[in-house]
Amino acid sequence: MTDAHRAIDAVWRIESARLIAGLARLVRDVDLAEELAGDALVAALEQWPQSGVPDNPGAWLMATAKHRAIDLLRRQATLERKVQELGRMEEREQQITEEQLAEAADDPIGDDLLALIFVSCHPVLSTEARAALTLRLISALSTEEIARAFLAPVATVAQRIVRAKRTLAEARVPIELPAREELPERLASVLEVIYLVFNEGYAATAGPDWVRPELCDDALRLGRILAQLLPDEPEVHGLVALMEIQASRFGARLGPGSEPILLLDQDRSRWDGVLIRHGLGSLDRAVRSGRTLGPYTLQASIAACHARARRAADTDWEQIAALYDALAQLAPSPVVELNRAVAVGMAFGPAAGLELVDALIARGELSGYHLLQSVRGDLLQRLGRVDEARAELKRAASMTQNERERDLLLARAAATDRPIGRH
């Protein structure tokens, strides 16, 4: 790859989301906006190696894409109204100085980008489609990169993205910011997608690798963009705090052979202090808003308890159990109850934790969820019920689709006579 092509690739990663967002506002079609942005990229690949990268590459790409949009719509007689509308827009924009266009293209915070994020994560789409479309449009990942990240066939991901765009068009989803009364539900959908991407990188559900840091990096970037665009939304800062604190552990989560190392067994001197400080700052911003703590802020508060403990033995498990109590009331789910059982077991003894786990099993919840068996095996081991613990850990190993985690669970089952850590 030449220096010019490397520069173009870097510019595209930085500018593409804003480019597509601005075009989507103009043409009111996400698919067409991405196509026009791609045309501008092709033009850059053709011209910049000879002419050099412009002083303001974002403005160049936007101007090129807008001209192509006008040319395209002029050729389509059935879109006469849009031609007239874009023609008037072109006349107005010809009166704008090049300097003003450059300033507009360089503005890192704008309603267009925020609107595109909300459209990509619209509740009319499935969770998988939202994640794929967001990574494609906002993170500028190729279909191949997204497929690799989620261990899915390229054709499946491509079809998912095509169907998502078609669904948005058929549902006539406007490319604009949601109304104030819709914001809570729409924002929840966006945060869910970002955290889903992060979690898939933090503890992969399948495949040979336990972690995929590149996915966490993409999720963190998305979260930080959203925090810039919505500075007064505490849950956005809560999610950023949660991801930053969890990401701080990456240096300690894998052993020399890439084997997983669980939370209580990690060398905390290898945690990233800069990320922890940033995370605690984001958490403080969320808490200082004075609004009721949301589920992401509560989870970030739990992560902060671990981050503040210099040693695993210093962890304030009673505080963590109390935070899980609050989380269970605010956003009840079997997974939250399972995590609460872990905290209760650490704070008040394994018998108390096992009682909560067995209640989940009695209700038939989390059937097929390998971490339920893993937690139960841990609690049984701490109670000295070694044979039962070994059976539960082997069962958990048979249920997970992640190869590294399966090896870890089998190793734990084979060593039930020594203490074990937790995620």
- Give long-range contacts, CB 8 A cutoff, 24+ apart: 387-391: 389/413, 389/416, 390/414, 390/416
Identify the band that residue 29 occupies on the pLDDT scale cut at 50, 70 and 90.
Answer: confident
Between 100 and 270, residue with greater pLDDT: 270
* Cα separations in angstroms, 338 against 17, 43, 156, 218, 223: 38, 53, 33, 28, 26
pLDDT by residue (tens digit) across 122-168? Answer: 999 999 999 999 999 988 888 998 888 787 899 999 999 999 999 99
* Cα separations in angstroms, 364 against 184, 342, 391: 31, 18, 19
Please report the pLDDT score of residue 140 as a whole number: 84
Residues 141 and 25: their CA atoms lie apart, in Å, by 21
Identify the band that residue 73 occupies on the pLDDT scale cut at 50, 70 and 90.
Answer: low
Quote the radius of gyration of the chain (alpha carbons, Å).
25
Please report the pLDDT score of residue 190 as a whole number: 95
Joined tokens for residue 68: 């192509």
Decide if pLDDT at 119 tops 60. yes
Decide if pLDDT at 100 tops 80. no
Q: pTM for the whole thing? A: 0.81
Please report the pLDDT score of residue 59 as a whole number: 85
pLDDT by residue (tens digit) across 354-394? Answer: 999 999 999 988 888 999 999 999 999 999 999 999 999 99
Sign of CA dihedral 183, 184, 190, 191: positive
Identify the band that residue 76 occupies on the pLDDT scale cut at 50, 70 and 90.
Answer: low
Give mean pLDDT, residues 274-288.
97
Sign of CA dihedral 361, 366, 369, 370: negative
Between 45 and 245, residue with greater pLDDT: 245
- Average pLDDT value over all residues in the chain: 87
Give mean pLDDT, residues 189-216.
88
Decide if pLDDT at 88 tops 90. no
Identify the band that residue 8 occupies on the pLDDT scale cut at 50, 70 and 90.
Answer: confident
Query: Among the ranges 12-26, 64-78, 90-104, 300-314, which has the highest mean pLDDT value?
Result: 300-314
Please report the pLDDT score of residue 58 as a whole number: 83
Residues 51 and 367: their CA atoms lie apart, in Å, by 61
Return the exposure string of 284-301: e unless at least 16 CB atoms fall within 10 Å of the residue's CB, then b: ebbbebeeebbbbbbbbb
Please report the pLDDT score of residue 1 as a whole number: 60
Please report the pLDDT score of residue 14 as a whole number: 79
Identify the band that residue 344 occupies on the pLDDT scale cut at 50, 70 and 90.
Answer: very high
Decide if pLDDT at 78 tops 80. no
Decide if pLDDT at 198 tops 50. yes
Give mean pLDDT, residues 304-310.
97
